[in-house]
């Protein structure tokens, strides 16, 4: 995937991105929302192995670039029945809340629907009200709230919200 809109580029992660991805994923501030306040403890080599196994039709780790610089990542994975699960992290907080997240998500979602996916799902932490706000702006419908559904790295119970989006309900900000 290589999607470009003005100063935003969304492209497949390559070997040269693995150090940056490992640094982000090892950073507890970046990963706390996903349940890893101490970071995931990976290496660039492990990340390289992961992305080398990825294929376009099945799922990819993607880099979000703004003005040529990596600011975060997205990903998608094919599930059964033309359903894709997606995720996003704008890892450099200087670039959060500037309208880039909704545009980057729109670019990815538009591409996934145009390549035959019929539904997109995701989940987020119940505490992550900013993400829920952005997902709902894009047209995602809340399916359920899972109270105390999983335990984070520090043993603290966390609750999540499940969302889904169909092409008919998609509000495209790109």
Residue number, 49 or 143, with CB nearest to ligand COA = 143
> Is the distance from CB of 90 to CB of 72 less than 8 angstroms?
yes
**Which residues of this chain interact with ligand COA, rule CB under 6 A?**
33, 72, 88-90, 96-102, 124, 128-131, 133-134
Residue number, 36 or 48, with CB nearest to ligand COA = 36
State the Cα torsion 152-155-157-158 to the nearest 10°. -10
Length of the chain: 174
Residue located via tokens 């992961």: 50
Q: Least distance from C-beta 15 to ligand COA, angstroms?
A: 24
CA pair distance 96, 125, nearest whole angstrom: 17
Q: Least distance from C-beta 30 to ligand COA, angstroms?
A: 7
Residue number, 49 or 154, with CB nearest to ligand COA = 154
Residue number, 60 or 89, with CB nearest to ligand COA = 89
Q: Least distance from C-beta 91 to ligand COA, angstroms?
A: 7
- If you write DSSP's letter for every residue of 89-139 in order, what string do you get? EE-SGGGTTSSHHHHHHHHHHHHHHHTT--EEEEEEETT-HHHHHHHHHTT
CB-closest chain residue to ligand COA: 101
């Amino acid at each position: 995937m290589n999607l470009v809109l003005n100063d935003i580029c969304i492209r497949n992660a390559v070997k040269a991105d693995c150090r940056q991805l490992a640094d982000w994923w090892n950073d507890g501030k970046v990963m706390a929302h996903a349940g890893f306040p101490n970071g995931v403890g990976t290496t660039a080599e492990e990340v390289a192995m992961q992305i080398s196994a990825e294929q376009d039709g099945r799922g990819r780790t993607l880099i979000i670039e703004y003005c040529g610089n990596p600011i975060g990542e997205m990903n998608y994975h094919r599930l059964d029945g033309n359903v894709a699960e997606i995720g996003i992290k704008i890892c450099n907080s200087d670039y959060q809340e500037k309208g880039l997240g909704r545009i980057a998500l729109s670019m990815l979602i538009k591409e996934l629907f145009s390549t035959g996916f019929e539904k997109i799902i995701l989940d987020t932490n119940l505490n992550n009200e900013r993400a829920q706000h952005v997902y709902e702006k894009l047209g995602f419908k809340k399916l359920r709230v899972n109270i105390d559904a999983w335990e984070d790295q520090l043993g603290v119970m966390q609750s999540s919200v499940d969302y889904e989006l169909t092409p008919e309900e998609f509000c495209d900000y790109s």
